[in-house]
Structure 1
Amino acid sequence: MALSNNVVGAINFVAMLLSVPIIGAGIWLSTEPDNSCVKLLQWPVIILGVLILVVALAGFIGGFWRISWLLIFYLIAMLVLIILLACLVVFIYMVTIRGSGRLATNRAYLEYHLDDYSGWLQRRVKSSYKWDRIRSCLSSSSMCAELNQSYRMPQDFFDAHLNPLQSGCCKPPTQCGYTFVNPTYWISPIDNAADVDCLQWSNEQTQLCYSCDSCKAGLLANLKKEWRRADIILLITLVGLIWVYLIGCCAFRNAKTEDLFRKYKQGYT
């Protein structure tokens, strides 16, 4: 039984290591400017990673020190956490399955539309209360001001590959027909009615298009890209945890079987 318990402990040590990518994914999301403004996914991921670490530690201690109730706690709790992680992986995939940028005429950058994204993500930014806080956070960054340092001529800007936030928040929608002065200053729109965002644009550098649906869509496009990357990490870790859990169950069962045989033999000696 000692050998089997050591195997269980070693397996749970691997489970402890597998919690690190989950916690790391959550920390990485928290360092991204858009995710730090929205604060949706990083904390659930970090908390889930920490819980997996704690439960795996309990299994590690229970295995090496032959504490049966800790091993039983590990088996039940880890199963619950694996199910929660699987649900999170599926959830992230489902809410990010929709939405992508649209090509604009004579532009290298893409345009973003809020209706292209999942309803769940849209509800996270449609509320004026929620968006006011996010907008204030985004506008405090230097992402738009940096464009003025990089692009002086109109064609240089039109040929630029802007990220979704820059495209959605720092300039008016292309279809409005605004005339380029610099990346964050545009005049003389051709058609103010082409898009509701055409009326939202402001040359005031603290306003720009932060109130536009295109800015909300750009934010969701960025979130989608980052969440998909995190989801890949979570999926790989999930597969590893399932594999470790199944091996741990077999080792625990073998340990209990050895213990029963040992007690059986002692009863006849």
Structure 2
Amino acid sequence: MFRLSNNLVGILNFVTFLLSVPILGAGIWLARRASTDCEKFLEKPVIALGVFLMVVSLAGLIGACCGISWLLWVYLLVMFLLIVLLFGFTIFAFVVTNEGAGKVLSDKGYKEYRLGDYSNWLQKRVNNTKNWNKIKSCLIDSKVCSSLADKTANDTLEQFYSEHLSAVQSGCCKPSDDCGFNYVSPIVWNATTDTTTFNNSDCTLWNNNPDVLCYNCQSCKAGFLDNIKSDWKKVAIINIIFLVFLIIVYSVGCCAFRNNREDNAFWKRRPHP
């Protein structure tokens, strides 16, 4: 008869196998319909995750339910490495997102963002031209600024100043407040003086073209990093919960592995009729 730990490992891995099927299906679906760089960026990690979960869950399921010790050993080794990687990533995520915050402006519903306020590691990632071009393409494809323009099309300057903009909207869809540009519409601002006289280099990069705006600005990169910072902290918290779950599963798996070895040793010692 199977022991309790073997049954638990088998049930948990059967559920994981069922979850891997829609994840793998979603990756294949993305691969077939991907038309933008953003969608193409997602397809490979989703497929890899689906295949990984499917293979590992099958190893755990067969190893626990069929008493195959070497397969269960491989499963436990992969689980251990996954626990170490997740623990390391969680610590790393908290460290690199510990710096940076938006600057509160008086009489404004939004904040402004400066790239220098964020960790050097994150700054290097977005200052890489190849990386930023991909990110910028995704921001344009997501229509983050055009949706803001549609939502606030009839706003006066005072109404626009009271809007609660996201970090990306504040950094990418409008010029910095210290540029002193004249407001025409949420994404159309005209310079009042020669922009080369400004201390803020973002003022010279602003363009009323909907595909340019401030996507090349340092403030846009900072707004994107602020968004990443918020997302990574949420992921890190979820990782902690997932780590606790993995450690429990790993412990149960170790019990199942010990059971397999004891059962195998018993059948080897048992005298043949």
Q: TM-score range by the shorter chain?
A: 0.7 to 0.9
- 1:249 and 2:254 aligned: yes
Does the CA contact (< 8 Å) of 1:172 and 1:178 recur in 2? Answer: yes
- 1:183 and 2:181 aligned: no
Does the CA contact (< 8 Å) of 1:8 and 1:59 recur in 2? Answer: no
Structure 1 counterpart of 2:207? 202
Greater CA drift, 147-156 or 249-258? 249-258
> How far apart are the structure 2 equivalents of 1:119 and 1:103?
22
Structure 1 counterpart of 2:34? none
Closer, same or farther in 2 for the Cα pair 1:45/1:146, shift >3 Å?
closer
| Structure 1 position 231, deviation (Å) | 2.5
> How far apart are the structure 1 equivalents of 2:61 and 2:135?
42
Does the CA contact (< 8 Å) of 1:164 and 1:222 recur in 2? Answer: yes
TM-score, normalized by length of structure 1?
0.81
> How far apart are the structure 2 equivalents of 1:64 and 1:166?
53
Structure 1 counterpart of 2:2? 3
| Structure 1 position 87, deviation (Å) | 2.0
Closer, same or farther in 2 for the Cα pair 1:136/1:252, shift >3 Å?
closer
| Structure 1 position 234, deviation (Å) | 2.4
Q: Which amino acid is the alignment partner of residue 214 of structure 1?
A: S
Closer, same or farther in 2 for the Cα pair 1:49/1:221, shift >3 Å?
farther
- % same residue: 39
- Structure 1's consecutive aligned runs of 4 or more residues displaced over 4 angstroms after TM superposition are 15-21, 41-46, 189-192, 261-264
Structure 2 counterpart of 1:222? 227
Tell me the C-alpha RMSD between the 2 structures: 3.2
Structure 1: gaps (5+ residues): none
| Structure 1 position 15, deviation (Å) | 4.8
> How far apart are the structure 1 equivalents of 2:105 and 2:83?
43
Structure 2 counterpart of 1:74? 75
- Output one character per residue of 1:54-89: Cα deviation in whole Å (capped at 9) or x when no partner: 223201111111222211211222212221222222
| Structure 1 position 202, deviation (Å) | 1.4
- Output one character per residue of 1:13-68: Cα deviation in whole Å (capped at 9) or x when no partner: 325646859x97xx8xx9xxxx94895x9966874574244223201111111222
Closer, same or farther in 2 for the Cα pair 1:107/1:193, shift >3 Å?
same
| Structure 1 position 262, deviation (Å) | 5.7
Paired residues for 1:14-29 under 5 Å:
14-15=12-13, 17=15, 20=19
TM-score, normalized by length of structure 2?
0.80
> How far apart are the structure 1 equivalents of 2:187 and 2:62?
59
Paired residue secondary structure (1:144): helix
Aligned length: 257
Paired residue secondary structure (1:168): helix
Q: Which amino acid is the alignment partner of residue 256 of structure 1?
A: R
Paired residue secondary structure (2:144): coil
Structure 2 counterpart of 1:168? 171
> How far apart are the structure 2 equivalents of 1:9 and 1:59?
11
| Structure 1 position 261, deviation (Å) | 4.9
Q: Which amino acid is the alignment partner of residue 167 of structure 1?
A: S
| Structure 1 position 228, deviation (Å) | 2.2
Paired residue secondary structure (1:3): coil
Does the CA contact (< 8 Å) of 1:86 and 1:238 recur in 2? Answer: yes
> How far apart are the structure 1 equivalents of 2:272 and 2:246?
41
Does the CA contact (< 8 Å) of 2:86 and 2:243 recur in 1? Answer: yes
